């Protein structure tokens, strides 16, 4: 049996409510800064939820020419920008690379929702003859990896994996598999989302999935806290560059960590609710560790899906105990960076992978902020309110999506 090709992380890019450069993002995460605030994109006064995690310090023109930007949905603005940051950070020089050996796997959980909403307004007010000819390519989810590949001349594998809030994680996992299989030497992978609009907020409100803590938005995202009441919509992108270890070493690349494993399962239970047994996400964690050749004793940190919804947080806590064993689970630091960023939906796994890579590099456990009232059903070490220094040998990054999609990545120090 051929030896498995090792895969490492060499580039990181992020656009988020707590920072749209790597340095500002990571400084905010370490400081426990909330990126949540009142919605300014539209009049939210009639909505049950009036706040979200909006991107604040981002200039589209810094990454995309104005004419091209007008032909993209915001999820592509964020994804294209994060990909450029990650590509630049990696130091890859395409004049020295075979473009057929580098590809892209990236997606959005819901795609071009803002474009769809805008074109529906056109239909109602101006008629079907006034649709934009760019409407379809603007809103389809797979346009993101297409745009990234065009921008960087990447002719290797190119596709999108859409699994709602697990999309970014699944994309990175599939990119890992492609490099291991010898079908690529490097991949750009992750997720992007830009769904803060009337349709997005209204749809999630109708499901009663969002927090309605309108009097204190910055304290609304409180994963694992007894008083949590729903998740907070957020936007942005998280894109990473991964590549085969020998390829990275040969070009003298700076390496953040190793991407050592991936596991994914399906609940086969309900379209939105998690399976009460928690066997699905537990199975994903077990598979990721097995894929990495590790055991629970090797895991020092878990970046939890941790959405701040009652069922998710208690269910994920149960899943961690099933995967790690009760005793070991209580020794592992578990935190949710969504307490600061809000929930970036399909971009969450990408953004949280960036956080995992930086946590390993700097030996820092990101905090779960707004944790004030313990929940008896959530009784692990959630790194409450303040970051901690720690050696992180290996960590897991969990993502769970509507439809019962469970995905876990395993990163480890090189």
Q: How far apart are CA 263 and CA 129, in angstroms?
A: 47
| 1 pLDDT more than 50 | no
The domain that holds 368 is classified in CATH as 3.40.47.10
Same domain as 331, residue 198: no
Please, are residues 86 and 175 in contact by the beta-carbon 8 Å criterion?
A: no
Task: Pick the last residue of a domain from 220, 250, 280.
Answer: 250
* Lookup result for tokens 């990495």: 292
Note whether residue 159 is domain-resident. yes
Same domain as 238, residue 290: no
Note whether residue 2 is domain-resident. no
Note whether residue 1 is domain-resident. no
Note whether residue 267 is domain-resident. yes
Same domain as 182, residue 130: yes
Same domain as 287, residue 348: yes
Q: How far apart are CA 9 and CA 11, in angstroms?
A: 6
Give the list of residues 6+ apart from residue 267 with CB closer than 8 angstroms, or none.
274, 275, 280, 404, 405, 406
Same domain as 267, residue 210: no
Give tens-digit pLDDT for 317-352: 999 999 999 999 999 999 999 999 999 999 999 999
Same domain as 355, residue 222: no
Same domain as 179, residue 302: no
Give the list of residues 6+ apart from residue 129 with CB closer than 8 angstroms, or none.
none
Where residue 4 falls among pLDDT bands split at 50, 70, 90?
confident
Please, are residues 10 and 90 in contact by the beta-carbon 8 Å criterion?
A: yes
Task: Pick the last residue of a domain from 250, 273, 291.
Answer: 250
Task: Pick the last residue of a domain from 250, 273, 308.
Answer: 250
Q: What's the angle, vertex CA 86, arms to CA 82 and CA 87, rounded to 5?
A: 115
Instruction: List the catalytic residue out of 77, 170, 247, 343.
Output: 343
Considering the chain, what percentage of its residues have pLDDT values greater than 90?
A: 99
Same domain as 229, residue 268: no
Instruction: List the catalytic residue out of 305, 356, 405, 410.
Output: 305
Q: What burial class does residue 283 get, using C-beta atoms within 10 Å of its C-beta: 0-12 exposed, 13-18 middle, 19+ buried?
A: buried
Note whether residue 197 is domain-resident. yes
Q: Summarize the confidence of residues 137-160 as an average pLDDT.
A: 98
Q: Give the domain extent around 301.
A: 260-412
Q: Is 405 a catalytic residue?
A: no
Total residues found in the chain within this entry = 414
Give tens-digit pLDDT for 226-274: 999 999 999 999 999 999 999 999 999 999 999 999 999 999 999 999 9
Residue 2's pLDDT is 52
Instruction: List the catalytic residue out of 76, 77, 152, 165.
Output: 165
Note whether residue 221 is domain-resident. yes
Same domain as 311, residue 240: no
Same domain as 218, residue 276: no
Note whether residue 255 is domain-resident. no
Give tens-digit pLDDT for 172-203: 999 999 999 999 999 999 999 999 999 999 99
Per DSSP, the three-state class of 345 is helix
* Mean pLDDT of all residues belonging to the chain: 97
Nearest to 350 by CA among 283, 407, 270: 407
Q: Is 305 a catalytic residue?
A: yes
Could you give the number of structural domains in the chain? 2
What's the token pair of residue 384?
């409450």
Q: Is 170 a catalytic residue?
A: no
Same domain as 358, residue 243: no
């Amino acid at each position: 049996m051929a030896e498995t090709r090792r895969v490492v992380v060499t580039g990181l890019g992020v656009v988020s409510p707590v920072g749209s450069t790597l340095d500002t993002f990571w400084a905010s995460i370490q400081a426990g800064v909330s990126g949540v605030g009142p919605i300014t994109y539209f009049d939210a006064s009639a909505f049950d939820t009036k706040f979200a995690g909006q991107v604040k310090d981002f200039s589209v023109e810094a990454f995309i020419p104005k004419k091209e930007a007008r032909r993209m949905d915001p999820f592509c603005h964020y994804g294209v920008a994060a990909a450029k940051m990650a590509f630049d950070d990696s130091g890859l020089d395409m004049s020295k690379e075979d473009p057929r050996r580098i590809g892209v796997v990236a997606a959005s959980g819901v795609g071009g929702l803002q474009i769809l909403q805008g074109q529906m307004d056109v239909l109602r007010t101006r008629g079907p003859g006034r649709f934009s000819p760019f409407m379809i390519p603007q809103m389809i989810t797979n346009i993101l990896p297409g745009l990234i590949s065009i921008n960087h001349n990447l002719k290797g594998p190119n596709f999108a994996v859409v699994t709602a809030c697990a999309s970014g994680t699944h994309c990175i996992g599939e990119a890992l598999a492609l490099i291991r299989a010898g079908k690529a030497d490097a991949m750009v992978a992750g997720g992007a989302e830009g769904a803060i609009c009337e349709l997005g907020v209204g749809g999630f409100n109708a499901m009663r999935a969002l927090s309605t803590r309108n009097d204190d938005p910055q304290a609304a995202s409180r994963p694992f806290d007894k008083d949590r009441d729903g998740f907070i919509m957020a936007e942005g992108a998280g894109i990473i560059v991964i590549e085969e270890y020998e390829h990275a070493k040969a070009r003298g690349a700076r390496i953040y960590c190793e991407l050592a494993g991936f596991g994914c399962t399906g609940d086969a239970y309900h379209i939105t609710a998690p399976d009460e047994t928690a066997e699905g996400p537990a199975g994903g964690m077990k598979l990721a560790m097995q894929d990495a050749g590790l055991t629970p004793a090797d895991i020092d940190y878990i970046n939890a899906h941790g959405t701040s919804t009652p069922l998710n947080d208690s269910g994920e806590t149960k899943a961690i105990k099933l995967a790690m064993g009760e005793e070991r689970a209580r020794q592992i630091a578990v935190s949710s960076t969504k307490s600061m960023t809000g929930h970036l939906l399909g971009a969450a796994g990408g953004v949280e992978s960036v956080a995992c890579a930086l946590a390993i590099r700097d030996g820092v456990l990101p905090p779960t902020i707004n944790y004030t009232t313990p929940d008896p059903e959530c009784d692990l070490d959630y790194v409450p309110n303040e970051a901690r220094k720690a050696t992180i040998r290996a960590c897991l990054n969990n993502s769970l999506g509507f439809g019962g999609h469970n995905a876990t990545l395993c990163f480890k120090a090189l």
